[in-house]
Amino acid sequence: MSKGKVLIFDNLPQRDMQVDQYLATKLRAKGFEVRVTPFLPDNRPHILYYKPDICILPEARCEYTIDVANNLMKWDVYTILKRTEGGSSWGAWNKMEDAEKETVVGAWPYNADLEIVWSQKFADLVAKHGHMPKEKLFVCGGIPFDCYFEGFPIERETRNKSICFAPGWGHADRNPEYNVPEAPPGSPIHADAYNRHRKGRLAWIEMMRKVITANPGCDFYLRLKVGESPTEYQQALGPLNQNLKVVLPCPSKIPIMNSDVIIHAGSTLAIEAHLCNRPSLSFYGMINQVTGYKYPNVVPDFEDADELVKVLRNLEFGKSNANLKAIKELEEEFYGTIDGKACERIADRIDQVEIKQTNIPDVWPEPTKEYEVPGVFKMIETWMCETCKRPSYTIPGKEMIKCPWCGIGLAKRRAIPVSPIR
């Protein structure tokens, strides 16, 4: 007999999807019935139809999430908010401007029965400066690393050496006036994120050109962050683009396991590569860090493309090059314990929840609050489905797509000249 029904709303990026599916297996092992679905407005009726006893939402990034959480609590559904990012260290927090602090702890007040965070130090920070009291915070550890403690082959058998580029410049493809969903409209954070990511991408394009040119015979892959378009990379690289393959959306461990070295712009992938016994290098990773804060570098970080090319030439493949002292420091301040058991700890905590009789309605309460912000993406093309009447978006130039909402094929139509009636 099921202990209760759990609905997990997924935050969509590949890493979060991987974590939520893994968490679902741990909860099912405890005897729960579990459903996982993307956290989109069209999936909100899952609450009405499934009538869960427990619901897990992504962190309270925006008013829409807060509104859903408030309704769940009103209906006596045990409501959990799960942080999809590590948050911040105290050292970085103390150097942040107020607008940036809001994006970390929450720009709008929120409430839930429980909030899951990664590290104890970040829990202390939220308890002191955020919206959630200490007794409602649960520290689980480094969630995104759990899957790397499963058994899987880590040796590669391939003729050519493989280099994977993993940039993280999604803000460069968004509107500089509204760019970061955690920040309210009008915040200086929006333009700042856009400008930093534009700078980072331009530097990356030049670095990629030099790495590809300096390593003939290698296979090259581009693994983009969710929301990032490949178009600018492909156009800027010109003829070199024929040597570059774009990786379809997938969990991080897939491109890592199929590459000999990862070039990235952040610490999470560096630790993931380390757990797969792969070397990695960071390029322009510090541009995403708080000014004045000395971030622990898991692997060398470069701002000079020629210097990176030189180090890459002498890098020992098949062996991690991570700084274990830096990983330990990040565990303490940011990620929490990295031991492959974060999801188990969450499942154990949820297993202690006292389930109430819920009173979920069959229809979402009206009037539903509308959350409208300026258009976020640039360099996109809008398609309007003739069947379900809903919009979808692609990079420009496609002749045909499948509607992501109802599945019907949509094709561009060219005007056919019509002879006048005589």
CB of 189 within 8 A of CB of 207? no
Tokens at 386, concatenated: 């003739």
The identity of residue 20, as a single letter, is D
What architecture (CATH level 2) is domain 5-142+336-350? 3-Layer(aba) Sandwich (3.40)
More confidently predicted of 15 and 201: 201
Closest CA to 17 of 274, 220, 254, 230: 254
pLDDT tens for each residue of 12-57: 777 888 899 999 999 999 999 999 999 887 788 899 999 999 999 9
More confidently predicted of 27 and 400: 27
152-323: what fold?
Rossmann fold (3.40.50)
Extents of the domains making up the chain = 5-142+336-350, 152-323, 381-411
* Three-state SS at 211: helix
Stated pTM of the model? 0.86
User: What are the percentages of helix, strand and coil residues in the chain, rounded to 5?
Assistant: 40, 15, 45
Query: Which residues sit opposite 5 in a β-bridge?
Result: 33
pLDDT band at 418 (very low <50, low <70, confident <90, very high): very low
Q: Do domains 5-142+336-350 and 152-323 have the same CATH topology?
A: yes
